[in-house]
Amino acid sequence: MDGQPPYKSSEKIIEEEIIKRQLEFPTSQIERLLYKIDKKVNEKVNNKFEIGEYFTEINLSCKEPDKEPMQCEGYIKTTLYIKDKYTKYKVGNCLLDPQFYKAICTDYSGKSFELFDSPQNISFTDSMIEKILSTLYIAYPEVFEHIDNRAISMIGSFFIYPHEPINENPEMYKGVIIYKEDQETTETSKYIYEIFYNRGRFRMAIAFTLKGPNKL
């Protein structure tokens, strides 16, 4: 019937519930890391504002070369807002470069400063990427069984609304989009894997692809 949600088997429902529960830990850790940015920025500007909203954009390409830690390039950008009754105001942003372990922030006055010292930059950036990848591993374990040192490219967004409650029954959607570059074969098809997760105060949307021949 038109307008009705697609049928889901009981096995599919149980699988989604398990994934949602498994996502609680890495997403809560991502949220905690983003709060750490807020705390550090506020220290740098002498606690001049209370954040009302966070928006983080990621654009990363990562590869794990021969049993070495995952190496990434691209950026993680967090924008901080305060809100009044009618609107929101941007008060700063921080840009993390995972390749060179730089984290440069700009406050509401246009002044730039480094978020952490060098060892903290490394620890913070690696932790953020680890937790982001953990969410993808949980959502698509079958994909990462076949990664075979191929690069993973991802874009995504994280939203935090600190004053909203946590949804005890998170919403989640995951799916695959297939683009066929050659209609005669699936070898050149491009698989885009998506994951959307919403637990009220924290919301996440990520799409990723693997570079190289498809193994699934």
Question: Is 119 in contact with 191 (CB distance < 8 Å)?
Answer: no
* Token code pair at residue 140: 């698509």
Look up the pTM and report it.
0.84
pLDDT in tens, the chain (216 residues): 455 555 567 787 788 889 999 999 999 999 999 999 888 888 887 767 778 889 999 999 998 766 566 789 999 999 989 877 667 788 889 999 999 999 999 887 888 989 888 888 899 999 999 999 999 999 999 888 877 777 899 999 999 998 899 998 899 999 999 877 655 555 557 889 999 999 999 999 999 998 865 555
- Domains of the chain: which residue ranges? 10-210
